[in-house]
Structure 1
Amino acid sequence: MSGRQLVIGTKEAAPFAMKAADGSWSGISIDLWKRIAEQLKLDYRLVEEPTVQALIDGTGAGKYDASVAALTITGPRARLLDFSQPFYVTGLGIAVPSTSPSFWTSIINTLASFGFLQAVGALLGLTLLVGVLIWLFERRHNEDFSGPAAKGIGTSIWWSTEAMTQASTGYIAPKTLPGRALAVLWMVVSIIALAVFTAGVTSALTTRQLQGLVNNASDLGKVRVGAVQGSATIDYLVGQRIRYHSFASPQDGLKAMADKRIDAFVYDKPLLAWIVLQNFSSSAEMLEVVFDPQNYGIALPLGSPLRRELDIALLEIIRSDWWKQTLFRYLGEK
């Protein structure tokens, strides 16, 4: 490497790689590379690519001696490239609209949720079970429940439903001791069940109003999700069978979310948080969750002779006070 100017690929990905109006570069990854180059006495020049895929392809083809940006180390990429030791551990983050969804939207999403349908199914199941048991106890002793099985069971289920909702008129009632004992038990249980059910629905509606439609990664399958085409986020969404809308950039996705075309946007958390803070603070906010852990590294062509020296220098630097100060300056991390 001595005597030759290295060609280093990069791509704008604030706050890891940022290009100023005068063409100069800064950011976490850029500052790290400058520190490594200074320590190893490397001569280099930076070349910009428009997309991450172009950066990956160029490095894999030997066009660049290294690529420095916010490059996630993944299995498919590792087949095409070598990577340095990870210098930053992060994960995916979720941006959501800063305004709460409408009340009716919250109601519809709550009523369509799996938990709500489970609760309704449980109440209906108990009502049917009690109705059938009442019919078995009363069919030979109570003319209200006698006659053909279909008529008797239908009457029993109707009585069970009235008893559960406390709407019974009293014209139809069990007469046998087992029937009346079950009726008393069912009335008490149904009062408690309905109270718990009502409290649960109210709590869910309140939570959705206060927190929005998406509160963690498990909610992504229920809403319209956006992601950057070709990013590592796509691998996660595909693996989780989450349908998504693809965008050319995070900015495009966040604009779509502001226009209510999507409900959430998923991307590398530090990059997404930076973009939201700088340009979309009035229309979007970040959730606290971090999922699908990821490592950022410096990409190198396969078999690069630079890798060993670079790894040693990188490992020394990321354990230094300088690195802690750098992360604090850009991200506020202590």
Structure 2
Amino acid sequence: MRPRVADMTILRPLLALSVVCLTGFAQMMPAPVRAQSAVAIAELPPYTVQSPRGDWHGPAVDLFRAAADRSGEDFTFVRTDSDDLRGALDGGALAALPLMPEAGRSPAPARSLPFHTDAVGLIGRQQHGGFLSSMSQLFNLGFLRVVLVLSAILLIVGTVIWAVERRNNEDFKQDGSKVKGIGNGFWWAGVTATTIGYGDLVPRTIMGRTVAMVWMLFSMALTAILTAYLVSLTGGGASTSLADNIEGKRIGIVAGSPVGRAQTDAADTTLEFSALSAALTALEQEEVDLVAYPYEAAKAAAGGHGVARTDATMILPAIGLAEDGALRAELDRIILSPAWQRRMSRVTQSN
């Protein structure tokens, strides 16, 4: 039996109304929320820094955010102790940063390329520097030796200028007194060498002016040498060589740190500590002379201790990942870019 035309006319509006209602209900339903992946992060200036409000910033933070955005990863940072970063990856974290290479531990399932080359730093005892400290270093046997040598040179030059000027220059005659004449020559040599040039004593003969010209040229080089030597006496020209700075000294290292016994083989003794805090305690108690540690991390943790950068370098840190994939590819692509290299170069220069 065929349906009547009137019945079909009634059903069509009802079907259209049902479709509209179902569509509206579907649009009103909340969209499924995508779970955010946890990213373990430890504070290690200048790479990762947490503000008082809890926000994270720093080169490593910006690097990860840019790579996660390009690879479509949704994440949230979870503050973690630096010693627990590797364990966080085993516990299901998407990534961990910054991850340092640690001796004796299995590597992360996947790692980005190292995003910075750091130097070996040497942590010393608390510095009570300043003017008095520098002066105390200046007045030593080396400084006395410089004064004696310089005085001898001035006396020789003063005697020469007196000998060639004493017959025709009243300034050097001094009534025939050799002592006063040579004393004036000594004074003239010193004033000329320092480029002060009071003008109270002036060579007047051709021979005297020739001696003066030679002495002025020589004293320019002498002044430069003397200045460099005095700077070295006060520590301003200290060597940055790791081997030179640790030779014959007791050096502390931290277990698991990238700085190990291979880097400190020039030391007289190398002592290993379980943590950096233990090494710093030993430093304060004079059990070790210096603590060797990555420079950037040493500056962040040294407190009032002095930290010196050496010429020895190491490749670190990186970002650990739970698995290889698009995120790692994006991280490596950014790290290899010239823009990133310029940024990390500025970080190194500013420190």
User: Structure 1 length as normaliser, TM-score?
Assistant: 0.52
The Cα shift of 1:299 comes to 1.0
**Long gaps (5+) in structure 1:** 108-205
Q: Which residue of 2 aligns with 1:286?
A: 308
Q: CA contact under 8 A between 2:295 and 2:307: conserved in structure 1?
A: no
Q: What secondary structure, in the 3-state scheme, does the structure 1 residue paired with 2:93 have? A: coil
Larger Rg: 2
Q: Which residue of 2 aligns with 1:312?
A: 329
The Cα shift of 1:48 comes to 1.8
Q: CA contact under 8 A between 2:40 and 2:80: conserved in structure 1?
A: yes
The Cα shift of 1:298 comes to 1.0
Q: Distance in 2 between matches of 1:9 and 1:255?
A: 29
Q: CA contact under 8 A between 1:87 and 1:314: conserved in structure 2?
A: no
Matched, 1:96 2:121: no
Matched, 1:67 2:131: no
Amino acid at match of 1:263: D
Instruction: Supply the RMSD in Å over aligned alpha carbons.
Output: 4.1
Q: Which residue of 1 aligns with 2:82?
A: 51
Q: Which residue of 2 aligns with 1:12?
A: 43
Q: Distance in 2 between matches of 1:263 and 1:239?
A: 15
Matched, 1:81 2:102: no
Q: What secondary structure, in the 3-state scheme, does the structure 1 residue paired with 2:53 have? A: coil
Q: CA contact under 8 A between 1:72 and 1:296: conserved in structure 2?
A: yes
- Compared CA separation, residues 260 and 75, structure 1 to 2 (3 A): closer
Query: Residues 256-271 of structure 1 correspond to what in structure 2 (within 5 A)?
Result: 257=283, 260=286, 262-271=288-297
The Cα shift of 1:33 comes to 0.8
The Cα shift of 1:77 comes to 4.1
Matched, 1:230 2:230: no
Q: CA contact under 8 A between 2:123 and 2:306: conserved in structure 1?
A: yes
Amino acid at match of 1:300: L
Q: Distance in 1 between matches of 2:108 and 2:336?
A: 29
**Long gaps (5+) in structure 2:** 1-32, 142-230
The Cα shift of 1:209 comes to 6.9
Amino acid at match of 1:55: L
Q: CA contact under 8 A between 2:122 and 2:290: conserved in structure 1?
A: yes
Q: What secondary structure, in the 3-state scheme, does the structure 2 residue paired with 1:63 have? A: coil
Q: Distance in 1 between matches of 2:272 and 2:106?
A: 26
Q: Distance in 2 between matches of 1:314 and 1:80?
A: 15
Q: Which residue of 2 aligns with 1:216?
A: 241
Q: CA contact under 8 A between 1:93 and 1:290: conserved in structure 2?
A: no
The Cα shift of 1:95 comes to 3.1
Q: Distance in 2 between matches of 1:228 and 1:42?
A: 35
Q: Distance in 2 between matches of 1:273 and 1:244?
A: 21
- Compared CA separation, residues 216 and 325, structure 1 to 2 (3 A): closer
- Compared CA separation, residues 256 and 20, structure 1 to 2 (3 A): farther
User: Structure 2 length as normaliser, TM-score?
Assistant: 0.50
Q: Percent identity?
A: 19
Q: Distance in 2 between matches of 1:261 and 1:212?
A: 27
Matched, 1:41 2:63: no
> Number of residue pairs matched?
221
